Amino acid sequence: MLCYELPETGRARLSPTLESLSAEMASSAIPVGPFSILGLQCSETELSVVVDDQGGAFLGLPPGAHPIARREQDDDPRPLYFIPYDPDVAQSDEERTFSRSVLFRRMHSTIIAAVGSAVPPTELSLTAKEVLNDAMFGMFGLWENKQSATHMRRLFKQLMGAVQESVCSEVPESVAFEPGRGWTFTIGDDEKHGALLDVLTRFSADTLTSEPKPGPELFDSLEDD
């Protein structure tokens, strides 16, 4: 079963397209698998997944809306998205700034979790691909647009530059970039481990709202090679 998930308002437009493609492939004797379109619906009180007949049969759920999260009236559901920021999507400046800030906060949380679970003495290396993949629930590894992937790597580099400056001001020589390895945290003992975590948890990614500065693309994925 191939499942698509998109805002509920877009389901009606996608369904005829998929049905037409399936019919065309079937007419050419190309095997076609079943598909389902799941809708994401947000009300003033809850976030729901809308299941169609095919998806309901596959998932063992009755067709219709199934609440997955409750929300207050002023809550914004966008931080719950698998992909909080996509540079290929047309957005207003305000929307783009908000989406980037959500991605920055997710990457920041990934870094804190990785450092927090490290056992000293150790050196912990993090790459853009690893952190972005975790922040996007594995979706970054499937990205096809290389320019967009490069753009998001630059966002990670922008975050890590700010993290390095903040951390090393209090715990000197504890974070450094190493070509071929990524960004390395040097955690010598429990005391240094605690100090690193203290600075990381006090660091705020909300100040990183500007576009990443353009640069030579040749070195953008160097830490992942």
Give the pLDDT confidence of 13-55 residue by residue, as tens digits.
888 888 888 888 888 888 888 888 888 887 777 888 899 888 8
Closest CA to 61 of 74, 48, 52, 72: 52
Name residue 100's amino acid: R
Does residue 202 carry a pLDDT above 80?
yes
pLDDT tier for residue 219 given thresholds of 50, 70 and 90: very low
Query: How many CB atoms are closer than 10 A to CB 111?
Result: 25
Closest CA to 124 of 198, 184, 178, 182: 184
The Cα-based distances of 143 to 29, 133, 150 in angstroms read: 30, 10, 10
pLDDT score of 60: 86
pLDDT score of 129: 94
Higher per-residue pLDDT: 170 or 31: 170
Lowest mean pLDDT across 79-88, 149-158, 199-208? 79-88
Percent of the chain at pLDDT exceeding 90: 38
pLDDT score of 118: 92
pTM score, whole prediction? 0.64
CA–CA dist 115, 129 (Å, integer): 17
Beta carbons within 8 Å of 34's beta carbon, 6+ residues apart = 1, 2, 54, 58
Lowest mean pLDDT across 63-72, 75-84, 98-107, 155-164? 75-84
Does residue 198 carry a pLDDT above 50?
yes
